[in-house]
C-alpha cells in the first residue's frame, strides 16, 4: 500500500489483541469518536461511532459477520461501507485500517472526517 505523506496520516490504535473478537474499542481524534471493530475472523473495521439514524453509539452494538446492529433502534450498518442495510438508509463515515505485526492503525488523512 503506497502512502503519500502529505495526505495520509496513520494513527496507531494498538495491538489487535486489545480489541475483543465481535467487539469494539473507541478512540478519539480531534473530538471525533471512532469505533474500531474486530470480527470473528479478525478483520478490523473503523467507522465514526455514530449511527446515521439517531447518532447512537455503534461501538455499543452487536457485531455479526461484517455488520453491527445499533443499540438504540436496531439499524444494521455494514462495517466495510458504513451503509445502513435496507430497508433503512443512511451512512456513517468509514476509515481505512491496517494491521502490521499485530498492531492496528487507522488512516486519518485526506477526507477522513
pLDDT along the chain (113 residues), means of 10: 56 96 95 96 97 95 97 96 96 97 89 42
Whether 38 is in a domain gets the answer yes
pLDDT of residue 16: 97
* In a domain? residue 4: no
In a domain, 49, yes or no: yes
For the chain, the domain total comes to 1
Q: Is residue 113 part of a domain?
A: no
CA–CA distance, 65 with 35 (Å, rounded to integer)? 16
Q: What is the pTM (predicted TM-score) of this model?
A: 0.87
Asked whether 94 and 82 are in contact (CB, 8 A), the reply is yes
Sheet holding 62-64, edge to edge: 62-64, 67-69, 76-78
Q: CATH number, domain at 82? A: 2.102.10.10
Residue 5: inside a domain: no
Asked whether residue 2 is domain-assigned, the answer is no
* Residue-range definition of the domain harbouring residue 14: 10-107
Amino acid at each position: 500500500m503506497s502512502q503519500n505523506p502529505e495526505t495520509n496520516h496513520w494513527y496507531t490504535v494498538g495491538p489487535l489483541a486489545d480489541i475483543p473478537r465481535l467487539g469494539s474499542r473507541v478512540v478519539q481524534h480531534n473530538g471525533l469518536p471512532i469505533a474500531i471493530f474486530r470480527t470473528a475472523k479478525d478483520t478490523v473495521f473503523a467507522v465514526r461511532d455514530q449511527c446515521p439514524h439517531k447518532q447512537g453509539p455503534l461501538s455499543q452494538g452487536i457485531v455479526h459477520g461484517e455488520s453491527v446492529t445499533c443499540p438504540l433502534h436496531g439499524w444494521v450498518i455494514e462495517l466495510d461501507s458504513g451503509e445502513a442495510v435496507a430497508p433503512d438508509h443512511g451512512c456513517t463515515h468509514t476509515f481505512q485500517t491496517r494491521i502490521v505485526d499485530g498492531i492496528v492503525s487507522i488512516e486519518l488523512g485526506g477526507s477522513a472526517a
